[in-house]
Amino acid sequence: MLTFRRALVAAVFFIAVLFLTTRSSSPAASAAAVEYPKVQPGAEAARQESQTTASSGQKAADDQAVQNGGHQGGPPKQKPMKDMSRMTLYEKLAYQFPYDVETKFPAYIWQTWKWTPAHGEFTFREQEATWTEQHPGFIHEVITDQVAVHLLRLLYGSVPEVLEAYEALPLPVLKADFFRYLILLARGGIYSDIDTYAIRSALEWVPESVPRDQIGLVIGIEADPDRPDWKDWYSRRIQFCQWTIQSKPGHPVLREVVSRITEQVLKRKRAGSLKDVVDKDVIEFTGPALWTDIIFGYFNDERYFDMENSVGLIDWKNFTGMETARRVGDVIVLPITSFSPGVQQMGAKDYDDPMAFVKHDFEGTWKPESERHIGEQ
């Protein structure tokens, strides 16, 4: 017979079971109770590859939509945030300014000077105008020192060591050199000194036989001094010019030159030796000597080139006496005539040659008058 006490115990038991059953079926309890399967070796890589492929496909669709005037499936995708605190400077630059050789060369022309063409003291109007005339539809900017500072703060705000290095440089010419690398790394396009004339459009610089989606950097030879006393005139046996450069954003050569300059400047700043950098040091510190060394380093970097099957190191011997463009990986190297026509030495031909693209007046406005036009006859 069911006594009152037994009935009470049974009722409490029933209520407890009902409570536990209801609680375990709630969404929060269900999620906490699920044990996710552990990732098997190789599965994480496969998952990342799958995500990368999907992202690449979406990016291609988005890029195509942008070319058509809109976006595919909503606004363009943003890259995921990463902790940059443990990255090297090189890695930070690679993350901030990724390199994609298959993109188009940006339609920018960058030049720097004390004043803009609208200023009464601007004396390079004739030269500057040729770049606009030869490149209709391009965005052409002459950047002053004041504008450069604000522009770099906008572009490199997430890499403060680069800004610190730029502001610490003791000479205007050093900042001018550094700026050309910085703007091309971040935005790409064409940089050319203010004392240059555009003879032909940059659309003609890359040979028609070379697909543009396989080229990310176009450079020219500044000097090819085949003479015993070449060291009296130039820093390198083959020297690449940096008064005119065309690139796509993020190119590894630009990434390396920005990293190298930044690290050297900050090292000298901490040591208190930046004030010791004088005009004669510019070529090695930020100029064509450093630029040339980094380009040759890139040509022999096993991260980008198959050095195991190479016939040997790529050095000046591969470029001396060139008369036509030469391709090395994703770089086009133009002969001396292209950016130095009319110098009447080192095999350079005249301004009317089909390979003559840019005329440089060699003003060297940062140098003393006695040191300008060095090496010219």
Angle between helices 89-96 and 252-271 (to 10 degrees): 140
Instruction: For residue 307, give the CATH number of its domain.
Output: 3.90.550
* Share of the chain residues as helix, strand and coil, in percent rounded to the nearest 5: 45, 10, 45
The rounded distance, in Å, linking the Cα atoms of 126 and 108 is: 19
Going by pLDDT thresholds of 50, 70 and 90, the confidence category of residue 363 is low
User: Residue 172 domain-assigned?
Assistant: yes
Residues linked to residue 142 through DSSP beta bridges, in sequence order: 111
Over residues 125-153, the mean pLDDT reads: 96
Instruction: Provide the residue range defining the domain that includes 308.
Output: 96-371
Q: How many CA atoms lie within 13 A of 341 on its CB side?
A: 19
Q: Strands 239-240 and 189-192: what pairing?
A: unpaired
pLDDT at 68: 35
Query: Looking at the domain assignment, is residue 33 inside a domain?
Result: no
What span, in angstroms and rounded, lies between the C-alpha atoms of 336 and 349?
8
What is the rounded (10 degree) CA torsion for 61, 67, 70, 73?
Answer: 0
Could you tell me if residue 25 is inside a domain? Answer: no
pLDDT > 80? residue 80: no
- Fill in the DSSP letter of residue 193: -
68 assigned to some structural domain = no
Question: What pLDDT is recorded for position 376?
Answer: 32
What totals of helices (H) and strands (E) does the chain contain, helices first? 12, 10
Of 109-113, 165-169, 230-234, minimum mean pLDDT range: 230-234
Domain count, the chain: 1
As a whole number, the mean pLDDT across the chain is: 81
Please report whether residue 88 resides in a domain: no
Is residue 270 domain-resident?
yes
Among residues 247, 266, 257, the alpha carbon closest in space to that of 287 is found at 257
* 159 falls within a domain: yes
Q: What is the pTM of this model?
A: 0.76
Residue 84 forms part of a structural domain: no
Interval 238-253 mean pLDDT: 97
What is the pLDDT at residue 232? 87
